Structure 1
Amino acid sequence: MDINNLKENVESWWSNVSEGWRQLRRSASGALTRFKPGDTTNLPESSSIDDELWLPGLSWSMLGVDLLEDDRRLVARLEIPGLDKDDFKIEVMDDALVVSGEKRFERDSSDGRWRTIQCAYGAFRRVVPLPAPVRADQAKASYRNGVLRVELPKVEPGPARSVTIDVQ
């Protein structure tokens, strides 16, 4: 293998890795959500935690969403485990679904020490852009098995919209 072949292979590999990271950033950037611990989050005292990497004020988690559009509605499914149905506030603001709430730390009855804390706790806010106008006053929500499902009827029923945008 000559040096030019090696150079082309490395450039191709680097291009693939770079594109993969760009795709991941585009895809996950909206799902990466900050959790801000507050007075009611009920986190354990720092003195009872041995996890050197735990920073209670820098808690992040992925709140993934699936968004379905059909002729009549939009349906959002958000993975938000560890809450009760009353822990959510759900709003439609402009052209976005806004889900906020607080995930509280649940204390264990044991007197042991926490070795690892990787779950996110605290108040959060997740904004999901909506591709079509909806009738927010007719929305329905349910929460089961850690998945929040929000059904939003469209203002104007019809097929999913596709818009082509010209580059200037």
Structure 2
Amino acid sequence: MSNLIKSEKNGSLAKPGMTGTFPTWSSWIDEMFNNDLPSVFKTNFNAGFSLPKVNISETDDAFTVALAAPGMKKDDFKIEIDNQVLSISSEMEQNEETESDNFTRREFGYSSFQRSFTLPESVDSEKATASYEDGILKLELPKKEEAKKKPP
């Protein structure tokens, strides 16, 4: 494998649109707006919390929804089924204060999410159950009797 760098015909390693070793004003502006924000600006936003991943599986008797949300408690979740729409949401607020002789530091954070899924008519929402263990919220959504597969 070669470690050579492709260079322009004039032998310069500068990118097109650059004069000498400095970019032109227009290429600098384009690059600034076309790239993501540097990580320095991202660190205080979103505090590392993202939309939880969900696995949905189906058996002959039920649907199972498993939502990965480590570090939470069962009481942190709000689960609703309305008009065959399952909604799982959570809001968390975190406050931290450190005091020393010379300074006081306060940090706070807020995060929330909501996931919604349209349930098939075959789900008996009155018999749905939920549990939270090892960072996984698990919902069991049993099927109505007439929707369950019967053995031949």
TM-score under structure 2 length normalisation: 0.54
1:158 aligns with 2:143: no
Partner of 2:72: 83
TM superposition shift of 1:59: 7.7
SS at match of 1:83: coil
For structure 2, which runs of at least 5 residues remain unmatched after alignment? 1-39
Contact 1:77 1:147 in 2 (8 A): yes
Q: Does the alignment pair 1:93 with 2:82?
A: yes
Q: Report SS of the residue matched to 2:112.
A: strand
| CA distance 1:61–1:140, change in 2 (3 Å) | same
8 A Cα contact 2:49 2:111, kept in partner: no
Contact 1:59 1:121 in 2 (8 A): no
Task: Check conservation: 2:46, 2:111, Cα contact below 8 A.
Answer: no
Task: Name the residue aligned to 2:30.
Answer: none
Q: 2:79, 2:120 → 1: CA distance?
A: 18
Partner of 2:53: 64
- Larger strand share, 1 or 2: 2
Superposed counterparts of 1:13-24, under 5 Å: none
1:110-157 alpha-carbon deviations (Å, 9 max, x no partner): 8798xxxxxx84232111233453122211100011110000111233
- The one-letter code matched in structure 2 to 1:77 is A
Structure 1 residue 80 displacement after superposition: 1.3
What is the identity, as a one-letter code, of the residue corresponding to 2:89? S
CA shift in 2, pair 1:154/1:83, >3 Å: same
Contact 1:96-1:128 within 8 A present in 2 as well: yes
Question: C-alpha root-mean-square deviation of aligned residues, in Å?
Answer: 3.4
| Secondary structure of 1:77's aligned partner | strand
**C-alpha contact 2:86 2:118 (8 A) present in aligned 1:** yes
Identity score, percent: 34
| 1:95–1:131 Cα contact (<8 Å) kept | yes
More contact order relative to length (CA 8 Å, sep ≥ 6) = 1
> Paired residue for 2:131?
142
Cα distance in 2 for partners of 1:108, 1:72 equals 50
Q: State how far apart, in whole Å, the 1-side matches of 2:69 and 2:111 are.
A: 13
SS in 2 for 1:91: strand
SS at match of 2:41: coil
Greater Rg, structure 1 or structure 2? 2
